Structure formats: C-alpha cells, structure tokens
Structure 1
Amino acid sequence: MNSATAPTLIAIALQLGLGLTVFQANPKRKSNQCFLILSLVISTWLVSLYLAFVARTPDSAEFAIREASTAGVLYLLTLNLLRLSIRRNSTSWRNILSDSRIWLFVTAAVAALCQTKAFLKGAVIPSQTAAAPIPIYGPGADKLYAAYIALGFVALIVSYGRDLRRTIGGERAELGFVLIGGIAAMATALLLAFVLDYFLGPAHSIWFAPFRMIIFSLVIAYGIATRKIMEVSLLFRRVIAYALLALYLLALYAGVWWLVIVALRSPSSQNAHSIAHVTAAIVTAFAMAPARGISQRLAERLFISAKQLDFRATMSKTAKILASVTTLRDLLSRFAETVAEAVNTDRVLILLPDKHGFTQQYPPSEAGSRYRLEMTRDQATIMQLETEREPIVVEELRRVRPTAQGQRVMRQLDSLQIALAMGIFARDQLAGVMLLGPRKTGQIYGTVEQNALQVLCGQLAVAIENAELFKT
C-alpha cells in the first residue's frame, strides 16, 4: 500500500457504506435502489483505479484502464437512470429501462469498444513510485471517448434542467441536489487541479482525488435519503451566507493584524506578532454576530425572486387577527387566509373536535353536506397526530421506510389532495387539525415552514378557547 492507494481504499469503503445506508433508508423506493447501483458503479471505478496503481505488469495495468473506462460509461447511464427513478418512482424498473433504451444501446456499444485493441493497445508501467500507468490508446480512440463523455454530461445536464422545471415538491428538490452534487464534484476537481497541486504538489494532491466522487455522492445521498429535506434555494442561501461570513472575517482578521503590526513598527518582533494576533482575534470575535446577520441578508438578496415564508411578518399579522376577532367562524376564516398567503397554497382545511372525532369548520359547510370532511379518532391520520405530535408531510412519508401506519396515512391524505397535516394542541390534547394542500410554487413544506406553522397552531388553539368562552 502506498500514498496513492490508501486514499482510494478509504474512498471505496466510504462509497459502499454510503450506498448501503441510503438503500436501507427505504429499500422499496426506486431512487434509493438506483443510488445503490450508482455507488456500485463508482466503487467499480475506484477499484479499477486501485488496480491501476498497484499494477506491476503492462497486462494488469491495461485491464485496470479498460475497466475504469467502462465504469465511466456506466456512470453516465446510471445518472440517467437516477433521474428517471426520481421522476417516476411509482413505475416499474421495466418501464424505466424501456425509457432508457437509447442510453442502454449506446452504453453497451461504447463499453464493448473499451474492451478492444482499437480502443487501448497497451499500457506502460512508469518507473516512479505511486505513479499511474500510461495508457497507449488506438488512433483517435481517446478523443472519441472524451467526446462521448462530454456529450453525455451535456445531455444529462439538459435533461436534469428540463425535469427540474417540470417537477414539484420532493422530486424537484432531489433533482436539484443531484445537480448541486455535480457542481460540487466539479469544484472539487478544479480545487485539486489548481490549488492543491500548487501548494502540495502533484505527488501529494493525488491523495485527495478519489474523494471528489465521495463529495458528489454525499450531496446526492442527502437529497435522496434524508427525511427533512431542505429546499435547494435555502441550501444555496446558507452556503453563500457562510461563505460571505468566512471571507469577511478572514479579511477583517488580516486587516487588523496588519494595522497592529504597522502601528507597533516592529514586524520582526515576536511580541508584535503575538499582540497583533490577539487583537485581531478579539476584533473578529466581536464582529462575528453582526457580520452573520449582514451575510444572511446579502445572500437572501441574491435569491430575492424565491418565495419564502416571512416568519416575523406572518406572526405579527396572525397575532393581530387572533387578538381582534371574537367569533369562531371569523377567527378561522382570517387565520386560514393568512396561512394560505404565507405558505402560498390555495387549500386550507381546519377541523375541530365533535362527539365522533373531528369535523370540518373551515371552509364552512352545512351539516351533512357531502363536501364536509369528517375524521374519526381511529383513523390513521388522527392517531399519528395524537401519538407523534409532529406535522405529517406526505412528501416525507414517501421518503422513509414504509410502515402499515404510514401507508394508511399517505393513502388518506393523497385521496384528499393534502400535502401537510398539522395538529392543533391545547393543554397537551389534540384540539383540532389543519390540513394544507400543495404549495402553488411547487416547493415542499420544509422545516422552516413546519416550525412556523406549529407556532401559529399553538396560538390558534388559545384563540379558539377564548372564542368558545366568549360564545358561552
């Protein structure tokens, strides 16, 4: 084992572990299954790199290069399968493969070409330690292969971008995270090519090469496996905010350090350097809190077109409504309108308890009407709200390992065209249920929206009690 092979073995273990972890999160979900296939393909490529580094004969090096090239072709195919598995998670693998028949045919042809002498004539074992073998390609074979890889990536980017515009909810978020993973992998490759080569040299920067695929896989794994998925725009805002904060604090630290050194006029003195570092650290610590708020506001301005929940404005508006309204009907109506405007949905239902369970009170409907929703306490949605005391998001139920209870809840909410069910609790008892339809923007109900709605429902529970007391 040498300096090049050790990181490769670590990357193989991490990639396989990541693939199995995502698969176990929900083995029946197509995108989780496809991520496992993607992990196996990436691991095959890494194993081929390992075999190339440890090769002692030209024949073994040639074999490793062929298999690495084949794995690269399979990698493009698997990325396309991942796209289709996200978009058509409810369909069968037979239909997904049928839709990928062109990709399958071209991949098989290029993979077969990689196994011929027309593609690779041989390989030369270098004399330097830990150096990769030098391939001897056939006439124009390397250029043809590179052109196919480039065209394949362009086709994938176009397909992912098109699907990103056509999908909503969790599907859009997952596709977005695949694209983010690709950007992160490219950024890592550029970092390795320019920055690390300059500071560490090629002999040491090669240690980090296998981990660029791990970064790509980590981003995709989060988008596929996590239950509380984050909106892509929110992730970008946070990344940009922290990047701006880090750049500002580094610049501030360097500026204060330089000013102190100049003021003391003794750059060679050890005491001057110590005083400068301590002063810069103190100034940076005091500047951190206000700088964080400024960086977040700057990042949000870059995404000014993104519709997001204004928590403070919604809370202020809701507090005024709850304080001024006296009748229950008017209270529910104005509260529902405020929530609908805040989360950008056109479907809000509020159910309050009766002797059989919970009955729709907003939108108002006549007793016995076929359009009046009633839910008994033994129904799956009510039982889960009472036991879990957490919001039920249909998109999250689809992402986790399926259970009998979860499947019943999902079927009931899907039949009602509901995306989120929220319990209204008063004195630790379920005092009502709020049901929200999908958001008109196609975004998911993320953690920010769920937390805000829980606070609003807590205030609504108090206002309902006050309205009932006023009524009596």
Structure 2
Amino acid sequence: MYLHFVLELLQLNRPKTLFVIYTLGLIFFVLNLLDFAGITKLFITNVTFVFNQFYVDRPPGPTYPFFVAFFFYLVGYAHWVAACEVKKAYGLKRVQINYFLWAMAPAFYGGGTAFIMVFGIDFYPFPHITVPFYPVVMTYAILRHGLMDIEVIIRKTLVFAGLVLMVMAIVGTVTSLTQSYLGEFLNISPTVSTILSVLIAILLYDPTRRLLVNLTDNYLFQKKFDYQKLLKDASEGISQIKSLHHLLSLVTHFITMRIRVKSAAVLIYDTKNHYYRLAYLRGYPTVGQRAEGEGQRDGKTLWLKEGHVFPARDPLIEYLQVKRQAIDLERIKNRTEQKSKQQDGDYDYQAIKQRMEEFHTHCAVPSFLSDRLLGILLLGEKKSGDIYTEEDLNVLYTIAQESAIAIENARLYDEAIDKARELEQINVELNNAQTRMMRALKEAELANEKLQITQASLIVAEKSATMVGMAKAIGHEVNNPLSIIIGRGEALHKYDVKKLRTILERDAKKLPPEDLDELAKIAAKLDDNLARMIRSGNRIDVAVKTLTNLLKDTKGEMHPLSLIVLCREAIEATRFSTYEENIRGCEIKESIASNIVIMGNLEQLIQVFVNLIKNAYEAMAGQKDRQIEIQGDVDPENPKMVQIDFMDNGRGIPPEILPKIWMQGFTTKARRDDSIGAAGQGQGLFVCKHMIESIHKGTITAESTVGKGTTFIIRLPIAEIKE
C-alpha cells in the first residue's frame, strides 16, 4: 500500500511492479493468518517481551527475514523513485516531492531499526524517535505547499464541521429560548416554537457559511483568487487609460494589490533606440535603501530605478521572446540545477536566474502584440511566501496580452504629444530667429543713418580741418555702429542662418510643403542680404582704417589696435599653436567692450596674450570643466587706461609662490628640453612683464585663490588721437 501511495503521488503508472508487490504482500498476509490460527509456524513463531516495552518475534520464523528484506526493499525503492522524480520536476511539484521525501526517509529508516531486536541483538531502537518527524513535515507541506490537494479537503471539512456546530448551537439556543420564554409569555406550543427555531437557523445559515469560509481562508490558508473577476476588473481598467505612464501605474498597482505581491516593475520596448527601458516600478525601496528579502541577506542595496535600460539581447528578454510564456524563478532554478539544455534549447539559465535575482523578481510575464515583445511585467515575491502556480502564470499571461494593445495605444498617444511639443519648440525657434533678424536689420538701418549724418558733417566741415580730426570723428561716429553691423551680421550669417537651414532640413517632413518652400526662400534671401551687409561694412571699415592709418608712427612699431580684434586673434593663434594639446576641449569666453583702441605692438601683445591663455589652460590640466574668460573694458579707476582680465577656474597659485612667478628662471612646470623658448624654463611671465611695463608703459598683476582659479590683470594706455 505504501509503494502504491508513492507511485500515485508521483503520478507514475507501473502496474507490473504493483502486481508483484501485492502478490508478495498477500503471501505474507496468508502466512500470518496461518500462524495466528496455529496451523503453521513459518512466519511469527515466538513472541517475546523485550526491554519491558516491545513485543518482538524472537527468534523469528523461517520466512520472517524475507519479510524484513521485503520491507526495506519497498521503502528503498519508493525513496529511489521519489529522488528520481525530484530531478525531473520543477516548480511547486518539485517542492512538494522534496518535502515528502525528507519526511518519510528519517521516519521509515528510524522506525526500521526495531527489526534489529528480532535477530537476537539487544539494541534499543531509539532512532524510532524520528517517526513523529514524518507527520509534522507532511502537515507543513499540506498547509504551506498544498501537498496532495488536501488543503481543499481540510478547508471543506472545517467549514462543514463549523457549520454543523454553529447550526446545532443556534438551533439549540433559539429552540431553548423560544420554548422557555416565548412559549411561556405568548402561550406558543412547542411545535410552533420549534418551527420558528428552524426558520431562524435557515436565515442565519448563509451568513454563517460566508463567515466560516473567510475565517478559514484568512487564518489557515491563503485566500484563493477569483480569476474570472480578476480578468474582468483588469480589462475594464486598462481600456480606459490613454497615457502610458498612467497605464503602467494602474497595471502595477492592480497586480500588487489584487494578487498581493511585494513589488512589481514594467520593462517597455523603446522603438527609437531598440532597447528595453524600466518604465515603472512599485514596491521597490528607493536607491540607497536595503531591499527586502535577498537584498537584506546579502547586504546589497537596490540599484533599480526608472530609466535603466537593458539590451534586447539580454538572456531573460531573449528567453521570453522565444518561449512566449510566463516564467517563475523556481522553474529557472530547477533548470539551472539540472544543467540540461535538451528540453528548452540553448539557453543560459544561470544568466537568466542571475538577472531575475538582480531584479528581485520571482515571476516574469511577457506582453506580445503579434510577434513583437512590447513589454515585460516583473513581479516580486508573494506576500504569503507561496510560489507562483501554473494557474497564476496563465492568468498573469492573459492580463499581459490584454494589456498589449492598450500599451501600444498609450505609447502612440504619448508619441503624438511629444511630436506636438517638438513642433511647438521649432515654431518658437523660428520666431526667435526672425526676431533676431529684424533686430539686426533695424540696427543696420540706424548705423546707415548715422553714417549718412557723419558723411554730411564731413562734407560741410571746414577744408582746413586736419586728417587727424577727420579720422577721429569718423572713428568715434562709425566704429561703434560699424562693429555692431559687422559683428552681428557675421554671427547671423555664420551661425543663425546655418542653424535655420539645419532646422528646416531636420524637420522638413513635419512642415507643410508650402510653408517649407516659403521658409527656404526667406532663408536664401536673408543669406544674400546679410552677405551684402557684411561686404558693405567691410568696405566702410577699409575706409575708416585708411583714414586712421594716418595716426601710425612712421617707424611702424606702435600702432592703434582694436582690442576686440587683438583678443580674437590671440585666441585663434593659441588654438593653432596648441593643436596637439587639444585646447578645443576648453571653453574660452570673451567679453570685450567695442570700439576700444589701444596703442601697441601687434606681435608683442599677441605673444603676451597667447602666453597667458596657454598658462591658464595648463593650470586646468586634468579638470573635466575647464573655462577661460577674457574681459576687457575701460579701467574704472583710470579712464585713460584699459583693463584686460584673463581668468581661469584652475587649481590656483599658493600665496607663497605668487610673488615669485615674475622672476626670471622661476617655474613650476616640468622642463621638457633646453631649446630656446621651450616650456619649463621660467621665461614666459618674465618676458610678458617686460613687454607690458617697459615697452607699452602698462602694468600686469596676478590675483589667485587656491582651488578656485587665477586672474591676470593687464592695464594698457588707451590710444590718444592727436589733432
């Protein structure tokens, strides 16, 4: 009977084995009856009382040793069959068989030690204390893991027993009260009072039944789900949502609350970038907090957060794409332990298991639209601690497929909203470009008016005025608007028009053809007008320089120089001379007041400016954010001087070193070689100070804060125009 029970539990059909076993068992049964009747002495011959506690057949009959061998063969064979099935099973069935195997093994082998006394050995069978272990483990397996589906039987038995007791108590109480009080005060006969008692009991039957069912589910077992109602509620909620984020929020909230899982997350396929993005999660701790369960045991912190991306070639994603079914962690663990790939193809189950554990996921459910895997629902451990059954996986898979169309519609809805925002942004950029263009044209008109006024004043000026006065007047009245015309015209022509055309090319498909053609014509016309405006400004600049060249020294050493042109030339010269050092990775900002003219030697000042820019760049070596800013304006303390600041955000110069930087031969750089002009010889700042102070009659100083940066300040005389 025991072996038959094991085979039925494992759902194995072995009729020949059972026939042989039952035949042998029948033979031993007949021998026992014959011995009991006193006909033979083949099985049990001499019953002896041992240890004042046990009755044993000692010495045994001639067939009794065969019975002992038969017993241990049956038990061993049953255990061997169960062990083989454990290797093949997975999920809930594997857990159930494991519990059954570990319950019966110590019980049967511990109890089997009682046979030792039969063969004349005085060995007290203390291992039989393991026998109670069997019903304890089996009871736990039945209640916790639904072994043999006895849970349903127990539930119905408890409900039935409770109903019987409750009905009997109610009927007895009501009958007693009715007969005692109503019969006495209302003169009701015992028959009528009994009928009233039965009617009251019938009315209380259904509420009592529901109460007992709920109590049984809540305190003895996990309450089962009404899967039909679950699917209906899910379908009704999903069909009413438009936004993807709102839809995912609803799905995860619905699953965690109705199926009672600790956490849930959703991976959504990104059609633009071709990867899966973690779009929503619920029940996970925030970044930095310890996760429950596995996370607390291994001391890890949860790294998941919205926005994480995973490639389509991820082992878990590939497995779901091919298998098209929900999977649970227990099944994957079983596949990993088997280390067999014959049944499910060539899959890396160890990698899949590792990925699910990283997600803190006990169940992964794919969502397909046709052949496309739109998303994956990741569910954590059930709050009850139960594993996911086949029924759970099937229902979750159904919900995921019903969600697929809603997910796709919500994604398209969000995409339409994003495109509308992009078009709105393009419209804003076009309006801004048009505004800048109109402002530039207006400034050009004003500059042209000022130029006409200046020309008129020159015509009516006295012929005896010197060319110096004429140059000064033209420089004063023309340079300011002229620099605006040329500077802004070049900026519009070089950057804004190009940017406008880039926007038109990028969003050509988003604009109506007629609007696209109209904007293209405007861009072409704007390009032509700006080119003409720049050429006209350059011609005016040539005329002004022709007049101002009269102010140059006859030796050609010191000349009036435009500060803004000088600084830009120095920046370009620095970029060229440091090409291999990639100074282009450093942001250089300039803020130079227009129409500032200084008297100086072009080559020497460019040499000074280039040296200061290179020093600033080298002071920021190793920094991710490197910025150099050049500012130039009239000295607020001396209007006859111009102040030029070279600022960097490098590591700064310590106070004890700052006074020494102007000394010849002092350097903090590594000496590269001994060639003239090589870095690390301590000549750069010494030469700069000599050129500024001795030749140009200016000053150069330095201010620095360690950790914040350094500023070199140059003051030079503003060029004086002689009349």
Higher RCO (Cα < 8 Å, 6 or more apart): 1
Q: Aligning the two structures, in what range does the TM-score lie when normalised by the shorter sequence?
A: 0.3 to 0.5
Bigger Rg, which one: 2
Q: Normalization by structure 2: what TM-score?
A: 0.33
